[in-house]
Amino acid sequence: MKAANTCPSMYIRFLFNDFWSLREALSQSNGIAGKILLTAYHSYMKKEKFFIGSNAAIQSIPVFPHGMVGIYISEGARIGSGCTIFPYVAIGSNTIHESKGKGSPSIGDNCFIGIGATIIGGI
């Protein structure tokens, strides 16, 4: 059975109230519980069609005026408080060794990121 079928989003919502409480529980878990929560975390994002790296540093829950569809936030990204992020935004890491912009983006407080924006690299 696929992970998405064994951990549907309705069970995650029942157990954790919402995605952000699941993310908080994941950050405080390790061992077998951490692996189970990580599987649930990835299953939820796959079903809802977005990705937020479990190690992405997010100060406060961003505002997603139209939901999180198409959002991609890499593992190393940092997002400040009070940010607004519209659909189909990519905040990704640059892993090319020779690149001057290698690394992950660091977004400050109270930023507005419009639909379809792509922010990549250590800026």
Segments making up each domain of the chain, as ranges = 1-48, 50-123
Is the dihedral angle over the CA atoms 47, 49, 53, 56 positive or is it negative?
A: negative
What dotted CATH number matches 50-123? 2.160.10.10
Q: What is the pLDDT of residue 28?
A: 86
- The position carrying tokens 């992405």 is 56
pLDDT in tens, 60-113: 999 999 999 999 999 999 999 999 999 999 999 888 888 777 889 999 999 999
Nearest to 12 by CA among 49, 37, 35: 37
Rounded to the nearest angstrom, the gap between the alpha carbon of residue 67 and the centroid of all alpha carbons in its chain is 13
- The stretch 25-46 carries a mean pLDDT of 86
| Separation CA 76–CA 54 (nearest Å) | 9
Q: What pTM does this model have? A: 0.81
pLDDT in tens, 11-29: 555 566 688 888 888 888 8
Side-chain half-sphere CA neighbours of 97 within 13 A: 0
